[in-house]
Structure 1
């Protein structure tokens, strides 16, 4: 090396050292790794587990995996492990809609039948905005599927869900008049994206969201036979041991995003420094949802939790939060953004023992406990109502409920059968469901993947003429006696 070059390099190094004091570095708060590790200590080399990524001031400050992605092969979870994130998928679906609106290819005020003419007319039109806001009044497809005789481990495609929604005869309420969370909204949004763009929803999101953001391990899973590298598998726990929890669904929009904790950190970065969209679009996207009369679209009035297109906004103990959790089979996910703290928390799991929201909020407390307001006493302790014991029903009274009951909109028949002193609900594709009496006469409870209540209704002559099924979300389905 000649003398001139050597002298120049020394001069550049000296200038760099002189310049350092003029550029203060913002130090990241120390990460309480021990506390975080303790929170997930139950996930070991013998259990399913979690992947955790924490982002602060635009930098990933913590990334770690606990437990196994695959119990059969002993493959550990890492921040690069691919999980199904359930309903965390919804914000990507809504964002795809907003991208198309920004391009002038649709309007949020469009009647959805412009794109989905096979859906019935329900009086007042349902708009794309109603779908985004969960104010459409459409029934929950998981309730419809389970009482149409579908098993939750069946192959279920978007086409299957569309066919079922197209048979519906009524809404839960007039569109725009109330908030009610329904996966139907986001399945339909994904289908609108596909029909407007002329390509599959999976391809549209790959080209317009995942690839521009460098989310190389992310995809909407619309083919239940497609291979996914580095994926985790979902597990249940029964009789003291883990077992596989099958998931064959391939309907997209409301769920079916397979991604990693690290990829979600890249999605998170787009809220601060957008590579797709722009600040104005993101402001619209983060704006809180309302009913048609302008009142807030609230998930919970008591806790003031308001919807915001695949996110829920809440001021929790003085911290501004945008959170959504997800669950499909026994995949569980937590994606929380806390803009005032420039903090985001991502936790993905394949364990039946992981409860997303409480664990995500425990992480928040570990990280910013000094900034959180104390819990109100009434919020910390929720009184448990006294249990109501139902009296046994005589066999002679139970006998009147026997028979076959048919739903036109579901094209589904259930048989009610009395065995001894126990009523059973039977469907040729499902396991028998025991019905337990409730305090109200003619009312029973059961579980068909999800808990439900059932009420037999009589005509003026006192004869049973129909049964009304109400699932835990409040969906009411009518089966007439044949």
Structure 2
């Protein structure tokens, strides 16, 4: 998951840019007032000098609202329209899931098959990982996107299927026993693309084009599996340039050259996304069997239900059943949310990393489905974003260090210039209060709720990132190792699972990782003391191990969607 932020001016041009719509568009089903409310929600993006979003609402199979706000190409001044093509990130996962299910309906595989039947490169972890485990995010596999990043590859680098498969195959442990937990992992859906190609003899992009896109008339839809491929009508991705002078907003390109598919990489327009959406009501591709399999909620081995189906989340929004999936990759942000009982869907496709499409889709739903949604504080967002009532808790009760044991993640809450900031690794996230003890991050899918009693410091907080399950973090007192103790952690450490070597050094009085992966450049990443023999930093949480004599032998690295990656201390020659 990646993130960002922004805004600016000229109204008459903004109105011109936002008025474009598909030839088949119909205003039936939305009042003039509702359309104006939606326009108001996207006013900050209706700027002729910045990236923005394509927004669509479809009701009963008819397009009720379709507009572009902002620019698809900032350098050339190309406006966004409903025909603009976007990278939809993880919203692509439902198409990988569909491809695998179509192969099962063809009788060429079973969702209960052991993945190693098709991908023998994977280690034997003791218990079979099935195709359905991949589809449900219950495999326990570490996330390959994070693994490639830790191995030194930036999103701008060119990475291939072979690299992704190799790094997944090198992992000797799982994050958790297969089937025991739900934890979102891109590795599973990338492996689905490998299975599709090995079973059908065609890359996922070609298979999906023949079996899904062409039958539904989705003419803009294509998986980008070659980084240099030219895609007609594509919106370029952007992020805020952090080097812009204070008080100004400047944008920079935010594009990836990774070539993997299955977990993402599908490019299409709002218009074509709606053709796919209607297949859930009138299934021309896959029939009712496909739809039932895609939307059937999963369960863990212990019978506990999860909200993830197969490539889709199935839950409720303000009391109304919802089927949805968001996507967030570098400079793109997407969301397709379907409300089956109302035959209504909301699609948001943005080419700006800081545009939170998930939250925007809910605000649009608040407008479009106001007559059926249950009353909620979220409804206030549409009419001004009032905060929950109650006396704010002093910041002094909330600041401190917190630990999420399930994901081995360190969180730090600090006060800066009178405001609270959440630090996850090296990422500072300013917190905006939504209640006395609840906060969210503007432009980021992050929500926090502190557990506070009387005038005592908060001992716990609940953290939710995007559609992931809520995580409990417990307060702890950070260790304070001496200069001599810090020296005992230095040395050169090697991970066979990542095939990288990390020198740990003392830099400006702190333990730090000396990152030497970049050509002609060395970066030093400081580590902050956490618990005893544990430090947190940009890469995640490092826990040192010792031998019987008390000497450091190595460390285990854990980060979001990865646990226990082993590094061994290399003895000097």
TM-score range, shorter chain: 0.7 to 0.9
Q: Which stretch shows the higher mean deviation, 145-154 or 386-395?
A: 386-395
User: How far off its partner does 1:62 sit?
Assistant: 0.3
Which of structures 1 and 2 has the bigger CA Rg?
A: 1
**8 Å contact kept, 1:442–1:456:** yes
* Map 1:130-145 → 2, pairs under 5 A: 130-145=133-148
Q: 1:362 to 1:388 in 2, by over 3 A?
A: farther
User: How far off its partner does 1:99 sit?
Assistant: 0.6
**8 Å contact kept, 2:320–2:339:** yes
User: How far off its partner does 1:393 sit?
Assistant: 4.4
| Distance of 1:429 and 1:52 partners within structure 2 | 40
- Secondary structure of the residue aligned to 1:233 is coil
Can you list the C-alpha shifts for 1:188-217, whole angstroms capped at 9, x where unaligned? 111111111111111100111111111110
User: How far off its partner does 1:390 sit?
Assistant: 4.7
Can you list the C-alpha shifts for 1:263-288, whole angstroms capped at 9, x where unaligned? 10110010011111111321122111
| Distance of 2:309 and 2:566 partners within structure 1 | 32
Q: 1:34 to 1:433 in 2, by over 3 A?
A: farther
* Map 1:26-425 → 2, pairs under 5 A: 28-30=29-31, 32-43=34-45, 44-237=47-240, 238-240=242-244, 241-296=250-305, 298=306, 306-375=307-376, 381=435, 382=438, 383-384=449-450, 390=478, 393-425=481-513
| Distance of 2:50 and 2:43 partners within structure 1 | 11
Q: Which stretch shows the higher mean deviation, 429-438 or 334-343?
A: 429-438
User: How far off its partner does 1:370 sit?
Assistant: 2.8
Unaligned runs of 5+ in 1: 1-25, 299-305
Matched residue, 2:416: none
User: How far off its partner does 1:389 sit?
Assistant: 7.7
| Distance of 1:81 and 1:454 partners within structure 2 | 44
**8 Å contact kept, 2:143–2:562:** no
- Secondary structure of the residue aligned to 2:345 is strand
- Secondary structure of the residue aligned to 1:327 is strand
Q: 1:475 to 1:96 in 2, by over 3 A?
A: same
If the length of structure 1 is used for normalisation, what is the TM-score?
A: 0.88
Can you list the C-alpha shifts for 1:410-443, whole angstroms capped at 9, x where unaligned? 2111111112212221232145242242441332
| Distance of 2:259 and 2:227 partners within structure 1 | 6
Higher-RCO chain (CA-CA 8 Å, sequence separation at least 6): 1
Q: Which stretch shows the higher mean deviation, 239-248 or 318-327?
A: 239-248
**8 Å contact kept, 1:143–1:475:** no
Q: Which stretch shows the higher mean deviation, 168-177 or 121-130?
A: 168-177
Q: 1:105 to 1:36 in 2, by over 3 A?
A: same
Q: Which stretch shows the higher mean deviation, 458-467 or 103-112?
A: 458-467
- Secondary structure of the residue aligned to 2:371 is helix
If the length of structure 2 is used for normalisation, what is the TM-score?
A: 0.74
Q: 1:27 to 1:40 in 2, by over 3 A?
A: closer
| Distance of 2:478 and 2:304 partners within structure 1 | 40
Can you list the C-alpha shifts for 1:433-468, whole angstroms capped at 9, x where unaligned? 4224244133222224xxx22222222322221122
2:536 pairs, out of 420, 445, 451, with: 445
- Secondary structure of the residue aligned to 2:532 is coil
Q: 1:474 to 1:410 in 2, by over 3 A?
A: closer
| Distance of 1:417 and 1:149 partners within structure 2 | 18
| Distance of 1:62 and 1:147 partners within structure 2 | 42
Unaligned runs of 5+ in 2: 1-26, 245-249, 378-387, 390-432, 439-448, 452-457, 459-474
More helix by share: 1
Matched residue, 1:457: 545
Matched residue, 1:435: 526
